[in-house]
Structure 1
């Protein structure tokens, strides 16, 4: 039995925790990252960042073992003012990344802050945003994903 496609929106830090949990252990290549630069005035003065990733779908049960399945999903982050990265080779579009978590660091009392995409190997993608506004949607059916990630601790 296939579960329904996931469709989520995050407009605050509580919502972000749900999206982060659903993207834990998602894998993607550098070429799967897209940034649409700002154009003009109003909301068009802000950029948009997208990640197309293979997210882990938990709870798929096999005959004896829990099996790992994945689904292609797209995460869209709106209201982006700047983007930077640490430990990501932007020249290598074949570099594989594993997303561990998405965190938010607020700037003072306002709604603006930084979304930090924590990647394996100590890498990070940091998006400065006017406010939290993300959407996550599955864009494919599930497929068998091989080994299930293990997090010691």
Structure 2
């Protein structure tokens, strides 16, 4: 039986953050960096104007890593006010391919407050969400668990 980490360890709390501007989004992007997910865990509901991803997020904010090792947690990234979705370099029906999120950014459009939420993926993939206004949430939905690799993600160069 594995000994998964618990929220009670170190009195850590799950994340529940929102972003309404590009500055807020930089915090969420940093916390979601290196999250992994299968392409089948993306959902766009055009009638609700909502796009969501179920991520396995690395816990960058974890201060107890020296005691219990590297951890991940499942989190939901939800983007509201979405009017169109485009992707490059991914097959949304391929459940065997694991995607890795590098960053979440906002690019203003011709009519404020609208623009594009850009989800940059490793391997030159990406998702572009046209939005009427920036409104995004990142919320942890499970308890932390030991990262399968046992390591902190690294970036060369």
What CA deviation, in whole Å up to 9, does each residue of 1:28-55 have, x standing for no partner?
01111011122xxxxx5xx100000010
| Alignment check: 8 A CA contact 1:60 1:69 kept | no
| SS across alignment from 2:55 | strand
Q: Deviations along 1:111-132, whole A, 9 cap, x unmatched?
A: 1111110000000011000010
TM-score by length of 2: 0.86
- Equivalent pair of 1:25/1:149 in contact (CA under 8 Å): yes
Which has a greater percent of strand? 1
Structure 2 unaligned residues grouped into runs of 5+:
1-8
Q: Is the 8 A contact 1:114 1:127 kept in 2?
A: yes
Counterpart position of 2:28: 19
Q: Which runs of 5+ in 1 are unaligned?
A: 39-43
Contact 1:103–1:116 (8 Å) recurs in 2: yes
For the 8 Å contact 1:73–1:136, the answer to whether it is kept is yes
For 2:51 and 2:88, the matched residues in 1 are separated by 16
User: Do 1:49 and 1:78's aligned partners in 2 also have CA atoms closer than 8 Å?
Assistant: yes
How is 1:108-147 mapped onto 2 (pairs within 5 angstroms)? 108=110, 110-145=112-147, 146-147=150-151
Runs of 4+ in 1 over 4 A off after TM superposition: none
What TM-score comes out, normalization by structure 1 length?
Answer: 0.88
Three-state SS of the structure 1 residue aligned to 2:128 is strand
Q: Distance in 1 between matches of 2:69 and 2:115?
A: 38
Inter-partner Cα distance in structure 2 for 1:124 and 1:94: 17
Q: Is the 8 A contact 2:42 2:92 kept in 1?
A: no
